[in-house]
Chain A
Amino acid sequence: MIATIKSEWRKNRFRPAFLVGTGLIAGITVLVYGGSWYQALNPGTAERAVSLASLYPAHFVNNVLGAGWPLGAAMAIVLGAVFAGSEYSWGTLKTVLTQGPGRVTTWVGRVIVFMAWMGIMAAVLFVVGAACSAVIASFEGQALVWPTVADVAKGFGAIWLILAVNGAIGLTLGMLIRQSAAAVGVGLVYVLSVEIIAVRFIDSINNGAYKWIGDLFAGQNATALIGNIAPQPVAPTISAEQAMVVLAAYLLGLVVVAGGLLRLRDVT
């Protein structure tokens, strides 16, 4: 297992897709902060008012959560699909699987390294968010008041879980389709469109009689988890605990399904 993790880390630590993906996440966070700061200083131009105080360090976790879902999640899907699918298109899977470690060991090692990258992305998101909020507060002459460590940890855990679940969707699609491009397309269309339409439709049937089904979708639970940590205008109907359990079940289920595909299918 250690050998597999070492090997996976060696090949993925400078992988352009991960570096670019993480850079984009950082860039998006800076853009969100920059745009909000401009809107707060020029309220007449904004569609909705942005309070300057909401951009200070005390609230940076809320802002980072907003950048992490759904944009960070979409990036996680892309990375998951590329991570799994490229092994087929480059023909590297056969190289990996003929070296010695069994298929299950190989898969577990790969998942550990991928999830570590999701952790790195979440950490970058938080560091950049904290830095942006500190810069704004300093420019506005405000004292740097930070949220508690517990609040930061809660937010970090939530974002990591959301990135991990969406990354696992990409991984599974990459493994299922055996290439990156189609897996990226299917994953993004599903998360940014199909799931939203499906949930709206299910919720509308028979005056919401089947809303419990809609509440089982990953996107609904990601939104609810964010909503439970960062106060929203409309309180989520799914509790934080339920959201975490559902998302963890998705993560485990997707990793097992993708591992099963690797374990059972021929590598042609």
Chain B
Amino acid sequence: MQNITIVETHGLTKRYGGGVLAVDSVDMSVRRGEVYGFLGPNGAGKTTTLRMLVGLIRPTSGTAVVAGHQPGEPAGLARIGSLIESPGFYPYLSGRENLRVVADLASVDQKRVDEVLDIVELASRAGRKFGTYSTGMKQRLGVAAALLKDPDLLILDEPTNGLDPQGMAEMRKLIKDIGQGDRTVLLSSHLLGEVEQICDRVGVISNGHLVKQSTVQELLGEEGVLVRAHPIDQAQELLTKMFGPAAISRQDGAIRLKTKPQNSLEINRRLTAVGIGVSELRPFERSLEEVFFQLTGEKQGS
């Protein structure tokens, strides 16, 4: 992964007629070679942002540079493969013929059609009409079309939408595979597990605002240790002396300690040495789900 950005937006804003503010001053940067997860609840502004990046929608204000060009410029689009929202193909044509239509339009050699059909494992069913495809096959064909140009930047908008668990797992593997090497993948999703498994960095959008952008590790926070002990106040006092007050917090009757899990042995030894009973001592890591709900203000389990 390099630090050169392939997508850079400043104050990107889209206000629709009627005053609906879909995207509000988004400053986003995606680095070349990374798999970037664009997270947000339904209606947060993910698809609108992606549509602006590929030039389908014009921003109300703000700027964007995508693959070195303004969104929608032919030279930039030549380096971008995209699957926005749902795969759009002609139902009366076969999967292969649909890809040939796209290949002609993108001035790509027709030989590439069979290559991408192999990549998405759709070659054996490419002769069937698109209208007869299952949701999973349609999504795969959409990814195949996005790969036709062998793009530097692949923009995938909720590619696992509508898929069954097996289809989702296959799609995740496919995205991981095609995200290897120098290719950048910008993946939008509201499925946190998906993003946690695939992405290097994430941006979280809520109500049109980009509320956080960082690596997955940064987003999850520092490593820590969770301690349940009795008496808890005495344990907190001792741990504060050991690690300082900034490293300690209390939550749900447990102590959260910002320290390496390798220190667990020493923590256990010191607590038990002064007669404090330790009922639980384990490495602690926040889940992406927890962080997401905290950032977006959504209620867990609602």
> Which residues of A approach B to under 8 Å, CB–CB?
3-4, 6-7, 10-11, 14-16, 90-102, 266-268
> Cβ of B88 and Cβ of A93 under 8 Å apart?
yes
Query: Which one, B104-112, B189-197, B263-271, B287-295, is touching chain A?
Result: B104-112
CA distance A97 to B89 in the complex (A): 13
> Cβ of B78 and Cβ of A100 under 8 Å apart?
yes
> Cβ of B89 and Cβ of A98 under 8 Å apart?
no
> Cβ of B55 and Cβ of A90 under 8 Å apart?
no
Residue B74 at the chain A interface, CB threshold 8 Å: yes
> Cβ of A90 and Cβ of B86 under 8 Å apart?
no
Residues in B whose Cβ lies below 8 Å from that of A16? 92
> Cβ of A267 and Cβ of B74 under 8 Å apart?
no
Besides A97-B56, A268-B56, 19 more A-B contacts (Cβ < 8 Å) are A3-B107, A10-B100, A11-B93, A14-B92, A16-B92, A90-B91, A91-B86, A92-B89, A93-B88, A95-B88, A95-B145, A98-B56, A98-B77, A99-B77, A100-B106, A100-B107, A101-B74, A266-B56, A267-B57
> Which residues of B approach A to under 8 Å, CB–CB?
51, 54-58, 72, 74, 77-78, 80, 82, 84-93, 97, 100-102, 104-107, 145, 149
27 contacts between A and B (CB under 8 A): A3-B104, A6-B104, A7-B101, A7-B102, A7-B105, A10-B97, A11-B97, A90-B89, A91-B86, A92-B88, A92-B90, A93-B88, A94-B84, A95-B88, A95-B89, A95-B102, A95-B145, A96-B105, A98-B77, A99-B102, A101-B105, A102-B72, A266-B51, A267-B57, A268-B51, A268-B56, A268-B57
Interface of B is mostly: loop
> Chain B: which residue is nearest A93 at the CB level?
B88
> Cβ of A102 and Cβ of B88 under 8 Å apart?
no
> Cβ of B104 and Cβ of A7 under 8 Å apart?
yes
CA distance A99 to B87 in the complex (A): 14
CA distance A180 to B299 in the complex (A): 42
Residues in B whose Cβ lies below 8 Å from that of A101? 74, 105
CA distance A97 to B56 in the complex (A): 7
Residues in A whose Cβ lies below 8 Å from that of B88? 90-95
CA distance A266 to B20 in the complex (A): 15
CA distance A4 to B77 in the complex (A): 15
Q: In the complex, what's the smallest C-beta–C-beta distance from B176 to chain A, in angstroms?
A: 23
A-B contact count (CB 8 A): 80
Residues in A whose Cβ lies below 8 Å from that of B82? 98
CA distance A102 to B78 in the complex (A): 11
- A3, A11, A16, A102: residue with the most chain B Cβ atoms closer than 10 Å: A11
CA distance A6 to B110 in the complex (A): 12
Residues in A whose Cβ lies below 8 Å from that of B106? 3, 99-100
Q: In the complex, what's the smallest C-beta–C-beta distance from B159 to chain A, in angstroms?
A: 15
Residues in B whose Cβ lies below 8 Å from that of A96? 105
CA distance A7 to B54 in the complex (A): 20
Q: In the complex, what's the smallest C-beta–C-beta distance from B44 to chain A, in angstroms?
A: 16
CA distance A3 to B84 in the complex (A): 22
CA distance A45 to B101 in the complex (A): 53
Residues in A whose Cβ lies below 8 Å from that of B86? 91
> Cβ of B101 and Cβ of A11 under 8 Å apart?
yes
> Chain B: which residue is nearest A97 at the CB level?
B56
Residues in B whose Cβ lies below 8 Å from that of A92? 88-90
Residues in A whose Cβ lies below 8 Å from that of B51? 94, 266-268
> Chain A: which residue is nearest B91 at the CB level?
A90
Closest 9 CB pairs of A and B: A91-B88, A7-B104, A7-B105, A267-B56, A99-B105, A99-B106, A95-B88, A92-B88, A266-B57
CA distance A98 to B89 in the complex (A): 13
CA distance A4 to B102 in the complex (A): 10
> Cβ of B105 and Cβ of A3 under 8 Å apart?
yes
CA distance A97 to B74 in the complex (A): 10
> Cβ of A100 and Cβ of B105 under 8 Å apart?
yes
CA distance A11 to B130 in the complex (A): 13
> Chain A: which residue is nearest B107 at the CB level?
A3
> Chain A: which residue is nearest B92 at the CB level?
A16
Q: In the complex, what's the smallest C-beta–C-beta distance from A23 to chain B, in angstroms?
A: 15
CA distance A100 to B80 in the complex (A): 9
CA distance A16 to B57 in the complex (A): 31
Residues in A whose Cβ lies below 8 Å from that of B77? 98-100
CA distance A62 to B51 in the complex (A): 52
Q: In the complex, what's the smallest C-beta–C-beta distance from B18 to chain A, in angstroms?
A: 13
> Cβ of B92 and Cβ of A10 under 8 Å apart?
no
> Cβ of B80 and Cβ of A98 under 8 Å apart?
yes
CA distance A7 to B102 in the complex (A): 7
> Cβ of B58 and Cβ of A266 under 8 Å apart?
yes
